[in-house]
Amino acid sequence: MRIAMIGTGYVGLVSGACFADFGHQVTCVDKDTGKIDGLNGGVMPIWEPGLEALVKANATRGRLTFTTDLPAAVEGAEAVFIAVGTPTRRGDGHADLTFVFEAVRELAKVIAPGTVVVTKSTVPVGTGDEIENILRQEGVTEVSVASNPEFLREGAAIADFKHPDRIIVGAEEEHAREALREIYRPLFLNRAPILFTARRTAELIKYAANAFLAVKISFINEIADLCEAVDADVQDVARGIGLDNRIGPKFLHAGPGYGGSCFPKDTLALLQTAEGVGVAQRIVKTTVEVNDDRKIAMAERVARALGGEVKGKRIGVLGLAFKPNTDDMREAPSIPLIKGLIERGAEISAFDPVARLQAEAMFDGIEFADSAEAAAANADAVVIVTEWDEFRALDLGTLARSMRGKTLVDLRNVYDRGDAERAGLDYFGVGRGRLNPS
Ligand code: UDX
């Protein structure tokens, strides 16, 4: 099929490249000339495992092209996906739909009858209806509008796209359902379930899924706090409850709080939707508060591990991105942590395998090291903030000897307390027994 993908951000680029890899003819369009020039020259705007090879292979075969010319991209396309950003609107938590509606207005000038317009961006319930209204106002008829939310995790986006747990399609017309069934047909070989729903329902599924995962994380984080008070181990609690099929083992890793471009934004947008229709969503509201407070509390946690005072202390921070395998710094727990430590007078030496460029723009007055070992050298404490694979097998003995203090704060529970202590470190995990055992 011929597909146009509007927006070459994270979702648009991954989806466009994967559709092309299925054998469809895809044109990705973006207003950012620099981005499109880069993509045409093989330069990826984001760091995502496997993306560059996938883009290059499909571009070489002529199935994937990049342009700034929206009319040219849309001409002849049977389906037009909208994958532009829907950031949190400044000040009120609503999803900002400016880019979506701008794209629709441009689209309206050139779209042919019979085309299916599909929102892939995360958009509030009712956005599909609004898109339909705009198209109608612009004189466009015989165009179906469908919702097909994405559930990609950064760092694993290509695998997630090709092996989805499910494909959600919200559509009101059979014509749109048929088009989307055809687009995703290659995945049915892997028996990926496709769930057809009403359009508004599909829009809500995306928010409900992310909100539920956020609840799960905040739940286990609060249980971790309880473990620290009653001398229990949160990892065993997570395993003990996760073996119950009704609960499941995933998203029960206690840590410094969730970050990223989706959970913080989508939970706020869900709350705004609920408030707009006068329905309470107390669980999600509390989850947002728990997570915000937790991220801020991490600096204090590090200070406590250092005996309460970090002024003049040198702290090696390992990992800055909001999670491993991405250079994305949006809402990363490292941000309030580092800012909090700087405010308390600490000196920071930080290392991240790929997020340095993004991080440099965010922090003033911190040092960036070239390796985990360099960040730890001479430090009073080392804090693991992002569980990159390369931080999982550090030589703790060598690390301890290179440090000036001996505090290891492991905010991702990567290490075993016994191993760390044998290496001569004072170990502080999350929810693993009393916070200050001595
Ligand atoms: C998420 C959803 O998983 C995805 O389906 C959706 O489409 C977009 O949002 P992503 O933001 O890439 O994906 O990251 P994810 O792997 O879900 O992690 C989000 C945050 O939660 C990270 O900060 C991560 O460290 C944290 N997390 C996750 C935990 O603290 N504990 C966990 O058990 C799982």
109-126 average pLDDT score: 96
Q: Going by CATH, does the domain composed of 2-197 fall within 3.40.50.720? A: yes
Ligand 1 center from residue 397 Cα (angstroms): 32
Half-sphere exposure for 373 (CA within 13 Å, toward CB) = 9
pLDDT value at 398 more than 70: yes
pLDDT tens, position by position, 38-66: 999 999 999 899 999 999 999 999 999 99
pLDDT value at 93 more than 80: yes
Structure tokens at 424: 């001569």
Ligand 1 center from residue 353 Cα (angstroms): 19
- Looking only at the bridges linking them, the beta strands covering 407-410 and 381-384 are parallel
343-354 average pLDDT score: 98
Residue type at 204 in one-letter notation: L
pLDDT value at 251 more than 80: yes
- Contacts for 306 with CB less than 8 Å, ≥ 6 apart: 313, 380, 381, 405, 407
User: What integer pLDDT is reported at residue 435 of this predicted model?
Assistant: 62
User: What integer pLDDT is reported at residue 98 of this predicted model?
Assistant: 94
Residue type at 145 in one-letter notation: V
pLDDT value at 125 more than 70: yes
CA–chain centroid gap for 250, Å, is: 16
Q: Which long-range contacts (CB under 8 A, 24 or more apart) does 280-286 make?
A: 281/211, 283/215, 284/211, 284/214, 284/215, 286/218
Ligand 1 center from residue 109 Cα (angstroms): 38
262-278 average pLDDT score: 96
Asked if 86 and 122 count as a contact pair (C-beta separation under 8 A), the reply is: yes
Ligand 1 center from residue 276 Cα (angstroms): 27
Q: What is the Rg, in whole angstroms, of the alpha carbon atoms belonging to the chain? A: 24
Half-sphere exposure for 388 (CA within 13 Å, toward CB) = 22
Ligand 1 within 6 A of 233 CB? no
Which residue, chain included where needed, has tokens 């405010």? 343
The minimum-distance atom of ligand 1 relative to the CA of 331 is 23
**So where are the chain's domains?**
2-197, 236-428
236-428 adopts what CATH topology?
Answer: Rossmann fold (3.40.50)
Ligand 1 within 6 A of 217 CB? yes
pLDDT tens, position by position, 106-116: 999 999 999 99
Separation CA 334–CA 412 (nearest Å): 12
Ligand 1 within 6 A of 252 CB? yes
Q: CA-CA distances (angstroms) from residue 361 to 66, 329, 352, 365?
A: 28, 10, 14, 11
- 236-428 shares the fold of 2-197: yes
Residue type at 306 in one-letter notation: L
In the chain, what is the straight-line distance between the N-terminal and C-terminal CA atoms, in Å? 65
At 287, which helix (H) or strand (E)? Answer: helix 282-305
SS3 153: coil
Separation CA 169–CA 201 (nearest Å): 9
Lowest mean pLDDT of 54-63, 98-107, 399-408, 426-435, name the range: 426-435
Render the burial of 101-111: b for 16+ CB within 10 Å, e for the rest.
eebbebbbebb
In 71-227, beta strands by DSSP E:
79-82, 116-119, 144-147, 167-170, 194-197
Half-sphere exposure for 12 (CA within 13 Å, toward CB) = 30
From atom 13 of ligand 1, which residue's Cα is the shortest distance away?
153
SS3 64: strand
The length of the chain in residues reads: 438
pLDDT value at 273 more than 60: yes
The minimum-distance atom of ligand 1 relative to the CA of 149 is 7
pLDDT value at 163 more than 90: yes
Which residue, chain included where needed, has tokens 């693993």? 432
SS3 109: coil
pLDDT value at 437 more than 60: no
- Contacts for 208 with CB less than 8 Å, ≥ 6 apart: 270
Separation CA 119–CA 153 (nearest Å): 18
Separation CA 253–CA 55 (nearest Å): 33
76-95 average pLDDT score: 91
Active site residues: 262
User: What integer pLDDT is reported at residue 436 of this predicted model?
Assistant: 53
Residue type at 216 in one-letter notation: K
SS3 374: helix
Separation CA 92–CA 308 (nearest Å): 36
The minimum-distance atom of ligand 1 relative to the CA of 255 is 30
Separation CA 372–CA 350 (nearest Å): 8
Q: CA-CA distances (angstroms) from residue 101 to 127, 267, 360, 410?
A: 9, 22, 33, 44
